[in-house]
Amino acid sequence: MPVQLTMPRLSDTMEAGTIVRWNVKEGDVVSSGDVVADIETDKATMEMPVYDDGVISKIMVEAGKQVPVGTPIAIITVEGDEAGSAATVAAAPVAVAAMSVPSNNAPAQTAVPAQSASVSPPSVQFDAIRQRVSPLARRMADEMGISVSSIVGSGPGGRVVKQDVLKEAERLKSGGARPMALVHVASPSQSSTAVVPIGAGASEVMLSGMRQAIARRLVESKSNIPHYQVTMRFNMDPLLELRTMLNVQLEPQGIKLSVNDFIVRACALAMTAHPFFNASWAGDRIILHGDVNIGVAISLPMERGGGLVVAVLTQAQRKGLREISTETRALAEKARTRGLGPEDMTGATFTISNLGMFGVDNFTAIINPPNSAILACGAAVEQPVVRNHQLVVGHEMQATLSLDHRVIDGAMASEYLQTVKHNIENPATLLV
């Protein structure tokens, strides 16, 4: 049977994607695992692999075009297919391709096709399409009224399994809200943005899909969440001294701890003592999460679309400095070379944005829903400070929390920052 490729949901916030370029053409032979296209999501440019062996018999969406998740984009003919099968499948998604891009708070909906003599009902047309959905997952989705076409499967070969359906049901139950991309953005993607001259030396920059999504969510976050900020200074000298000593000892093992690794560890431990920092607003209730999943901002090179993505360190409260460092570096390398998968960017309950490594002294960040807080860390600046009633030269860092006042009030914020301050200024506590 021919296999229909559809625009995949490559991130938890993705509603539509742009095909930056096709790496194959009609008639090319492909094998499972081959990357056939580069897709720009609302977060980054990511690779799209295939999971079948066959021939690209038809490309249905040209490079540079943005289409909603679930839209058919290509057909693979596998060995043994009948000659006319690909044409039959290619004709099937006419109505589906007309889907509009759904709003941020609603799941993708398939337009109801108009019946005509030339177009068969979708139920007949799609019988020829190989769908990777387990029988149990399909039955559950039908009972819950959930369309499996827009669910990214976590099973082998992208197969939709029971857990994927339950996760989608929970998202819809909570109002359809999805975690948003981190709102700090670098340069637009060279591969998908265009500069258009408009005269007199002026020009317009056409927004990429990522830029459009982030712009929309910036407004939504600031409009819907009552932000406020709390700032505190930390004495960084003890941490910097310990980091230098540990890195000398760990150098033979190829491990180099960063200041950010210590900050992640300090915040994760503090969140176990202050559970409302590991919480989400849910309208008529507050959800206190179990595991501490910390999102860490990673900058992307221009060839991967530029901007920042948020990689998630799951169960961060259980991880030591060495594990945090190793996992963060692995995620950063993956993001900048192959691209992060949905499983790498899903489930953050708290976010850290660190511009100190770029020399920024102080800044504020916009909350990354459904988180209730984001910590913006500046640089550890060497400056005159008062220690033990003496004027000395030391390193201090400013950290600013942006908070959702519906979940966290000012007193709670100060208590949390006091705990983080104690952890950072007494870094030996981070080793146990």
289 is catalytic: no
Is the bond leading into 427 cis (omega within 30 degrees of zero)?
no
Q: Which residue has the higher pLDDT, 155 or 161?
A: 161
How far is 98 from 108, CA to CA, in rounded Å? 12
381: phi then psi, degrees, rounded to nearest 5: -95, 130
Q: How many CA within 13 A on the CB side of residue 256?
A: 2
Summary mean pLDDT of the chain: 79
pLDDT at res. 163: 78
409 pLDDT higher than 50: yes
**CB 290 within 8 Å of CB 279:** no
Q: Which of 164-168, 210-214, 419-423 has the highest mean pLDDT?
A: 419-423
- Looking at the chain, the number of H-run helices and the number of E-run strands are 10, 18
DSSP state, 160?
Answer: B
* CA dihedral (239, 244, 249, 254) positive or negative: positive
**CB 106 within 8 Å of CB 174:** no
Domains and CATH numbers, the chain: 3-110+118-173 (2.40.50.100), 209-431 (3.30.559.10)
Q: Which residue has the higher pLDDT, 253 or 93?
A: 253
Which two structure tokens, joined as six digits, stand for 49? 């692999």
**Residues of the chain with pLDDT > 70: what percent?**
73
129 pLDDT higher than 60: no
**Close Cβ partners of 154 (under 8 Å, ≥ 6 residues apart):** 161, 163, 164, 343
Q: Which residue has the higher pLDDT, 238 or 89?
A: 238
Least trusted range by pLDDT, from 49-53, 181-185, 396-400 = 181-185
pLDDT in tens, 187-233: 334 344 556 677 777 888 776 666 676 677 778 888 899 999 999 99
**CB 42 within 8 Å of CB 126:** no
Of 50, 46, 38, nearest to 5 by C-alpha is: 50
C-alpha dihedral over 270, 275, 276, 282, to 10 degrees? 140
pLDDT at res. 108: 39
398 pLDDT higher than 70: yes
Residue whose token pair is 């919480």: 279
In total, the chain counts a number of residues equal to 432
Give the active site residue among 227, 289, 405, 422.
405
Calculate ∠ Cα 380-382-386, nearest 5°: 105
How far is 279 from 409, CA to CA, in rounded Å? 13
pLDDT in tens, 271-315: 999 999 999 999 999 999 999 999 998 877 766 656 677 899 999
